[in-house]
Amino acid sequence: MTFEEFKTYFNIKNFNLDKVRNKIREFNHVQRFSLDNYDDNESNTESLNFSYASNLQDGPKYSFPQNIDWTSLMQPVRNQGSCGSCWAFATAAMIVGVWKRCNSGFSDFLSTQQLVDCDTSNAACNGGWFEGAINYWKSTKPLRDADYSYVAYKKACTIDTTKALDIRIDGFKTSNESTSLYALLLKGPVAVAVWLNSDFQNYKSGVFFGCDTNNTTSNVNHAVTVVGEKYLTFFTSYWIVNNSWGTGWGIQGYMWLPVRYAPLDCNLSMYGYQATFSN
């Protein structure tokens, strides 16, 4: 497919980011990030008290304190098909990963179709955003994918509340640069947005350096889930990214994106969301 055909098939559209940016500013210190909002008495976050983003212009001078890989917590790579529901897949994958990390006996996958059909704050196959999806599952408990299966188009919302899972979401945290994204990632997967181009469409393997360096905007048009960060060489660390285009794309459905300033990281570090849970 041409890139235009590809975008049409997956119904890829630019997100409206004005409200999103304001919300993120409410949650983060834009000029000076503080780990106080993220640290749950984990000693390994203490060494993050340096300005990591300021050292990324010519490649990172430091690696993060530890590699992270939550791939084992992820549900099998899904395929959203001809429906712009990437926001629902990224949100569901993030929540499953974080919940499974804290609840080792949990083995269910959440219903993305429930979000497509029932989350009226988003636009089903015409796009959506993480905040609305998280808040929907905060007020209405999620169902298993097996109980509300994905069909890749919007249909009537039909919920059997007797089958709802007891997952108690009480809010979310956000990140807007690499250090805060890493701090969230210590707790589990993070739903993020990226700016994709035709090279992104054709990605096969390795660390992807194909983001448009002339694109100085902060636009994004696709949602994915960051599930890890690894140090590769002195100049290259990369994020491990879970996508929703099936296992035939990328590394069995995954991608490696460089830990760099936006837009070299496809703007991945700018819009991170992770749900929080009550006991």
Handedness of CA 233, 234, 235, 236 (dihedral sign): positive
Residue 116, SS3 per DSSP: helix
37 is catalytic: no
H/E/C letters for each residue in 63-84? CCCCCEECHHHCCCCCECCCCE
Which one from 222, 242, 266, 267 is the annotated catalytic residue?
222
Angle between helices 86-102 and 130-139 (to 10 degrees): 60
- Segments making up each domain of the chain, as ranges: 67-277
pLDDT at site 235: 67
Which one from 83, 243, 266, 267 is the annotated catalytic residue?
243
Distance in angstroms (rounded) separating the CA atoms of residues 171 and 37: 13
266 is catalytic: no
Which one from 11, 83, 86, 211 is the annotated catalytic residue?
86
pLDDT at site 65: 63
State the CB neighbour count (10 A cutoff) for residue 82: 12
> Would you identify the CATH topology of the domain 67-277?
Cathepsin B; Chain A (3.90.70)
135 is catalytic: no
pLDDT digits (tens, 9 = 90+) for 161-194: 899 998 999 999 988 888 889 889 999 999 999 9
Q: Across the strands, what pairs with 79?
A: 245
Q: Which helix (H) or strand (E) holds 273?
A: strand 272-277
Query: What mean pLDDT, rounded, does the chain reach?
Result: 80
Q: Across the strands, what pairs with 226?
A: 190, 241
Residues of the chain with pLDDT under 70: 14-65, 104-105, 213-217, 234-235
